[in-house]
Amino acid sequence: MRGLMQDVPLTLQMVLERAGSLSAAKTVATKTADGVHRRTYGEVVERVARLAAALHDLGVRPGDRVATFAWNSSRHLELYLAVPCMGAVLHTLNLRLHPEQLSYIANHAEDRVVFVDASVLPLWEKIPGLETVRTIVVMDDTDGAATGAPGALDYDELLAAAAPRFSWPRLDERDAAAMCYTSGTTGHPKGVVYSHRSSVLHSMASLFADFLGIAERDVCLPIVPQFHANAWGTPYAALMAGASLAMAGRFMDPASVSQLVAAEGVTISAAVPTVWFGVLQAIDAGQVDPATLSTLERIVCGGSAVPEALMRGYDELGIRIVHAWGMTETSPLGSVANVKSTVARDQVLRTRLTQGIPAPSLKVRVVTDEGEAAPWDGATMGELQINGPWVADAYYDPAAPGGRGGLDRFTDDESGTRWLKTGDVAVIDGEGYIQLVDRTKDLVKSGGEWISTLELENLLITHPKVTEAAVIAVAHPKWGERPLACVVRADESVTKDELLAHLGGHVAAWQVPDDVVFIDEVPKTSVGKFDKRVLRAEFADYRL
């Protein structure tokens, strides 16, 4: 027997409609050099219609990729709505990547139109070999200080000239809404393609009290960039809940963040630990008055593990850090460490420091090296795998059948359940809490962004005075991890500065290792692979 309920497609048009009809007076505030600029959701929704009309006039059609190269802002929010709701695909480009990586990603996604913040136009102009971009639209985020690019359109002029109404098409909930590339250990970055359905379900889950619990009364400050996994979905979740938003623009230093919290009465924020570590340090140094954070109730923190000292530091200020785990491939929220009522009282802090339990509708398992599903005993380790309606099913590959590539990162079990192999090594305890203990991905995560060790090693090895090179992650109090290059010299005269300068020519400045140590040989496993565990143990206490 079939259910007899309405089959309403879950599309982001729901989010747009609801924000316009039920939360028109709520605001999105954007920090600028001159102060804070506010717009109501009512105004945003009107501008979104104009933006969709303008995109249509520019020749954008359903399925076309429209890229953004921008900080968090109300204009970026307008793009988050207009592009998917007109049937096109929002592609957020990561400002922190090297121009060559950006060129690969924009060409691979076949971006047609790109919206660029004026403050990052100089970065945009460094990107070589763009093959598909036809139109550039500049968004002046400099209070009029920047000059536009030759041949580029101006965002606000484009909107002013556009028709005030747009006839939204009927969309299929499985259509692509947005895409975001993520670093792979080997090869090029991989494209994750979110559907309307996955985006709506992920946003709804963010409203659950036992997940992020974003509510109408909240003022939400996503400091996690809109170019990184849709700012963890918080803009859509806030619009859906009717919560106001505060956007930091390019001002993410502790003073600016705390001023924005105070000015907007922010109640919930989301960011990697590095950001909140900086704010805590500034409070300790007397540079930020903790009273500016008096409205802040909770901080969703993830992207890398939350250190205990950070959680305790904010506990003392009466602000709850909510530890979350996720990946670009999981939209990105997978699990949140809210404490179940069955957890023993003396286990509360330990539990809050785990990566949490999966959201309703997501399933996780840990698979051992022997290929067995591990018991939930808090001790048996293996790769964390995840399944659910907002988890990727494939990576985008236009050359593969159906555009479905990267299939080696997925596995189907005997019951037909599809699992994403996360590359994280974990244990799961008896209550279902995930604890990450290692990762198989040979990458460094610094301040929430990835650095490819393989790319650095390949570049080091091209230096004529280098025989072998292994790059490892070393713990860092502020950035979580930083790269350390372990190099075997072919020529004793080679210097650290020479090698770092060599890397600086090919990767972004923040991806260059903090230090180089010269070793006699890179330790190897029995099959001759680099044994980085040995190096990581040897340099575990290395101070960068």
Contacts with ligand AMP by CB under 6 A lie at: 182, 229, 302-305, 323, 325-328, 332, 355, 422, 424, 436, 439, 445, 450
Q: List the Cα angle 254/259/262 in 5-degree steps.
A: 125
From the CB of residue 502, how many other CB atoms can be counted at a distance below 10 Å? 18
In the complex, what is the shortest distance from the CB of residue 19 to ligand AMP, in angstroms, rounded to a whole number? 26
Sign of CA dihedral 320, 70, 481, 327: positive
Residue 103 has φ and ψ, to the nearest 5°, of: -60, -45
In the complex, what is the shortest distance from the CB of residue 533 to ligand AMP, in angstroms, rounded to a whole number? 17
Residues 6+ apart with CB under 8 A from 375: none
CB nearer ligand AMP, residue 119 or residue 452: 452
In the complex, what is the shortest distance from the CB of residue 421 to ligand AMP, in angstroms, rounded to a whole number? 10
CB nearer ligand AMP, residue 173 or residue 449: 449
Our measurement of the distance from residue 241's CA atom to the centroid of its chain's CA atoms, rounded to an integer in Å, reads 21
User: Phi-psi region for residue 56, left (φ > 0), alpha (ψ -120 to 50) or beta?
Assistant: alpha
Catalytic residue (choose from 30, 68, 182, 330): 182
Residue among 57, 84, 56 nearest 68 (CA): 84
CB nearer ligand AMP, residue 41 or residue 80: 80
Is 182 considered catalytic here? yes
CB nearer ligand AMP, residue 136 or residue 301: 301
Catalytic residue (choose from 325, 376, 419, 450): 450
Is 329 considered catalytic here? yes
Residue among 424, 270, 245, 268 nearest 333 (CA): 270
In the complex, what is the shortest distance from the CB of residue 228 to ligand AMP, in angstroms, rounded to a whole number? 7
Return the axis-axis angle of helices 496-504 and 453-461, rounded to nearest 10°: 110
CB nearer ligand AMP, residue 169 or residue 378: 378
In the complex, what is the shortest distance from the CB of residue 520 to ligand AMP, in angstroms, rounded to a whole number? 31
In the complex, what is the shortest distance from the CB of residue 466 to ligand AMP, in angstroms, rounded to a whole number? 29
Is 445 considered catalytic here? yes
Catalytic residue (choose from 267, 445, 479, 481): 445
Reduce the DSSP state of residue 183 to 3 states and report it: coil
CB nearer ligand AMP, residue 325 or residue 376: 325
Contact call for residues 317 and 304 (beta carbons, < 8 A): no
Our measurement of the distance from residue 498's CA atom to the centroid of its chain's CA atoms, rounded to an integer in Å, reads 33
CB nearer ligand AMP, residue 195 or residue 331: 331
Q: List the Cα angle 511/312/253 in 5-degree steps.
A: 40
DSSP letters spanning 249-307: BT--SHHHHHHHHHHHT--EEEE-HHHHHHHHHHHHTTSS-GGGGTT--EEEE-SSPPP
In the complex, what is the shortest distance from the CB of residue 232 to ligand AMP, in angstroms, rounded to a whole number? 9
Measured from each CB, the residue nearest to ligand AMP is 328
From the CB of residue 4, how many other CB atoms can be counted at a distance below 10 Å? 5
Active site (catalytic) residues: 182, 329, 445, 450
